[in-house]
Amino acid sequence: MAPSTDRAAATDRARFLPTTRAEIDALGWERPDVVFVSGDAYVDHPSFAAAILGRWLEHHGFKVAVLAQPDWRSADAWRQLGAPRLFYAVSAGAMDSMINHYTANRKRRNADAYSPGGAIERRPDRANAVYAQRCREAFKGVPVVAGGVEASLRRVAHFDYWSNRVMPSSLVSSKADLVAFGSGERTILEIAQRLDAGESIRDLRRLRGVAYLLGKNEALAEDHEFGAANDGNTVELPSFEAVSQDPIAFARATRMLHRETNPLNARRLVQAHGQRRVAINPPPHALSEAEMDAVHGLAYTRKPHPSYAKAGEIPAWRTIADSVQIMRGCFGGCTFCSITLHQGRAIQSRSQASVLAEVRDLAQRPDFKGQISDLGGPTANMYRMRCSQPKAEAKCRRLSCVHPKVCKLLDTSHAPLIELMRATRGVKGVKKVQIASGIRMDLARNEPAYLDELVQHHVGGHLKVAPEHVSDEVLARMKKPPQATFEEFSDRFRAASKRAGKEQFLVPYFIASHPGSGLAEMIELALFLKKNGYRPRQVQDFIPAPMDIATCMFHTGIDPETMKSVPVATRPSERALQRALLQFFLPENYFEVKKALKRAGREDLIGDGPECLIPSRPSQQAREARDAKAADKEQRTARDGDPKKRAGYRWAARKGR
């Protein structure tokens, strides 16, 4: 099918992609070509994958429908919508469903930011597998392509924090025909076009950015790009059985996997699962500027589907409704973050003309209040940055371009971003442009022109930054810059704010219980917070997400890059003490902080002196909080039984919590 040349004809701004049989019938379709099954509510905004990919296929002439947050307890919702002509595109949503559902303590979250009204229970646990199975149940023989964070970051054998065990590839649990990973526009379009041309789903196993499960007696396909199984272009990972039983094998597999993420030199990966094998082709190449412009130039309504009007606002949409994405990808390579692994290390930027066209469109909308909530991406100040030497980039296997030091070949100029920021502010109808994505401090600290521009025009009194910790040893485990970088940036931020005649503050984010962080390191962090007057209202507990390097450390106690041991806080009681130290000043944390200080041999920090973290005696508030917690525990025990028997996500799921 040829792509539409008329943008207005491709997508009517007043029309969403159909979500029901009635909406499909109203369009006069017999059936859609592709059905997107999503764990998120359908929001037609370029920050949501189903909208981007759906509009992209529609732009190229395909009929696309969205089955958003269907009742997964049966296949009825699938049958009512009807079978797609070409394939199902399945995603658990913008987040892994287990992270979406459960806290770091494996307790049920009270809200889902991607559901109308923040309602929970709108998607199942491990939604990717459940949705794929319902597709099969509803219409046998229709190809199923899984994508999104959950499917792609579980494409190999991985540690699952919620069940505390190594689980097989998502291809095994979902039985999907393909898993697509990385930027999906090019991949999903080629899948649609080739299936439309009469090829089978198995013919598509040679695409970049896909993984698939070989049958018991199937051989790897030989390919002019990926080569044969034994020519050095295919890497055999330790098997599922090996990584399940041997921490060293798991660490080796993690290291091998992360070394094959540069699409310019990555090799195909293969991992045995019993008598079958999972094959993972090299990642897709980064989207070009023209492709990024085309994707973001489609006519999105930028709103949730009207069917949610009575159910309440979708919190995730409200956060980004008036934001503008200028780039994708991240070369930071932080060990606890999945962005590099999912979106790629290469920065994929839009042209200034494309960004300004979106800003002008946004400014003309009747509900626009004059403020762009964010002009950014995964990291706001990586716009247009890339390796200055293409030949070196083609050979590079570094996991981070900025750790342990910023690579001398990396073009770190902020000039294009400064120009874009100025141009955006000049659009008629725009009163304020916020930078809310967070910035990379080691890149910004030596750019006074950027800092001046930022603090003068784009900071609303507070700027979010993520130093994450103060222990240089822990920061090295994270692939974050040393503590001195944050202090240097902080000084320069204050100086720039003073030059601008403004009183502005940094809002630093820190992580508790990251591998390598023990009580001593957390006490060091607490003392830093006290000394500098920081009282974080939001703190983050480390959650071991599938495939992350830090998750490997958590599970095995081994750093996969050095193969040396790493101390890890795994018990809930240990993690609770670290979290309490981040908010040592809260009365409800008094007794846990005291316990942590005593356990670490730091009773010198308990007292009434200026250097102490907590007073020698608990306040009335602290005692009341302790009593309330004990009473609540007693009530829950009486209601639900022994707390040891109701711990974890499985109990919460059974009870519908």
Per-residue pLDDT band at 14 (split at 50, 70, 90): low
* pLDDT, position 549: 98
Interval 227-244: pLDDT, tens: 554 557 899 999 999 999
- Per-residue pLDDT, averaged over 547-565, amounts to 97
What percentage of the chain has pLDDT greater than the value 70? 93
Whether 139 has a pLDDT exceeding 80, the answer reads yes
- Please state, in angstroms and rounded to a whole number, the distance separating the CA atoms of residues 349 and 294: 12
Whether 464 has a pLDDT exceeding 90, the answer reads no
What percentage of the chain has pLDDT greater than the value 90? 87
Q: What is the DSSP letter of 604?
A: G
8 Å CB contact between 547 and 156: yes
Question: Minimum mean pLDDT among 64-78, 403-417, 509-523, 533-547: which range?
Answer: 533-547
- Cβ neighbourhood burial of 168 (10 Å; 0-12, 13-18, 19+): buried
Q: Positive or negative CA dihedral for 407, 408, 411, 412? A: positive
- Please state, in angstroms and rounded to a whole number, the distance separating the CA atoms of residues 563 and 249: 10
* pLDDT, position 2: 39
Per-residue pLDDT band at 645 (split at 50, 70, 90): low
Whether 470 has a pLDDT exceeding 70, the answer reads yes
Per-residue pLDDT band at 316 (split at 50, 70, 90): very high
- Please state, in angstroms and rounded to a whole number, the distance separating the CA atoms of residues 152 and 182: 8
Interval 477-520: pLDDT, tens: 999 999 999 999 999 999 999 999 999 999 999 999 999 999 99
Per-residue pLDDT band at 438 (split at 50, 70, 90): confident
Three-class SS string for 175-232?
A: CCCEEECCCCHHHHHHHHHHHHCCCCHHHHHHCCCEEEEECCCCCCCCECCCECCCCC
Per-residue pLDDT band at 539 (split at 50, 70, 90): confident
- Per-residue pLDDT, averaged over 412-435, amounts to 97
H helix runs in 507-644, sequence order: 519-532, 549-556, 572-582, 590-599, 620-640
Long-range contacts of 257-261 (CB under 8 A, 24+ apart): 257/156, 257/547, 258/341, 258/399, 258/549, 258/560, 259/397, 259/399, 260/235, 261/340, 261/341, 261/344, 261/345, 261/399
Q: Which residues of 556-586 are buried (b: 16+ CB within 10 A; e: fewer)?
A: bbbbbbeeeebebbeeeebbbbbbbbbbbbb
* pLDDT, position 640: 64
Contacts of 559 (CB under 8 A, 6+ apart): 251, 477, 553, 565, 566
* pLDDT, position 632: 79
Per-residue pLDDT band at 638 (split at 50, 70, 90): confident
The gap from C-alpha 6 to its chain's centroid, in whole angstroms, comes to 34
* pLDDT, position 5: 35
**Could you tell me the CA-to-CA distances from 111 to 103, 238, 566 in Å, in that order?**
11, 38, 34
Mean pLDDT of the chain: 92
* pLDDT, position 225: 60
Give me the residue spans of the domains in the chain.
Answer: 7-213+276-280
Whether 656 has a pLDDT exceeding 60, the answer reads no
List the one residue out of 546, 450, 442, 451 whose CA is nearest residue 498: 451
* pLDDT, position 11: 38
- Per-residue pLDDT, averaged over 126-149, amounts to 97
* pLDDT, position 651: 44
- Please state, in angstroms and rounded to a whole number, the distance separating the CA atoms of residues 304 and 180: 25
* pLDDT, position 13: 43
* pLDDT, position 340: 85
- Per-residue pLDDT, averaged over 304-330, amounts to 96
Per-residue pLDDT band at 7 (split at 50, 70, 90): very low
* pLDDT, position 8: 36
Per-residue pLDDT band at 367 (split at 50, 70, 90): very high
8 Å CB contact between 302 and 11: no
- Please state, in angstroms and rounded to a whole number, the distance separating the CA atoms of residues 291 and 268: 25
- Per-residue pLDDT, averaged over 626-632, amounts to 86
